[in-house]
């Protein structure tokens, strides 16, 4: 009986250590297929990303917005995707909406004005958000 249990344990260990990549890549293991997944962009060293992230983290923005989770307002990624490719023209406009508040673009809930923010800080926050596009 002990030999049978030992044999079963050895077999289980061998199966657990199997390194056959063709079986480990796929939807069941949450590993992206290298041929279809877009290359991830690492913005963590980008100065616009760092400054904007710090400003957002120390403000009340996260009360209504998250990167990928909808709370009251749109997610940061939704905003980034909507305005992708308009970076040069949209930064000032969106910074103004952060400072003055706004409504109607993303639904009925208005965004609270943030008059305490400087225009430069609001622009830095927008640049950070725009870097989050897919």
The pLDDT score that the predictor gives to residue 42 is 81
The pLDDT score that the predictor gives to residue 38 is 52
The pLDDT score that the predictor gives to residue 32 is 44
The pLDDT score that the predictor gives to residue 134 is 83
* Positive or negative: CA dihedral 66, 70, 74, 79: positive
Q: Which domains does the chain have, with CATH numbers?
A: 47-130 (1.10.760.10)
The pLDDT score that the predictor gives to residue 126 is 95
Half-sphere exposure of 48 (CA within 13 A, CB side): 16
Q: Using only C-alpha atoms, what is the Rg of the chain?
A: 23
The pLDDT score that the predictor gives to residue 10 is 57
The pLDDT score that the predictor gives to residue 44 is 79
Contact 24, 31 (CB under 8 A): yes
Stretches in the chain below the pLDDT threshold 70:
1-40
The pLDDT score that the predictor gives to residue 37 is 44
């Amino acid at each position: 009986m002990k030999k049978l249990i030992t044999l079963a344990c050895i077999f289980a260990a061998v199966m657990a250590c199997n390194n056959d990549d063709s079986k480990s890549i796929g939807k069941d293991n949450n590993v992206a297929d290298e041929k279809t997944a877009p290359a991830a962009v690492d913005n963590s060293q980008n100065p616009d990303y760092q400054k904007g992230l710090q400003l957002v983290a120390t403000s009340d923005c996260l009360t209504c917005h998250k990167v990928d989770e909808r709370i009251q307002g749109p997610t940061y990624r939704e905003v980034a995707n909507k305005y992708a490719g308009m970076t040069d023209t949209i930064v000032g406009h969106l910074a103004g909406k952060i400072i003055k508040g706004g409504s109607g673009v993303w639904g009925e809930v208005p965004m609270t004005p943030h008059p305490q923010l400087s225009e430069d800080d609001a622009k830095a926050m927008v640049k950070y958000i725009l870097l989050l596009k897919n």
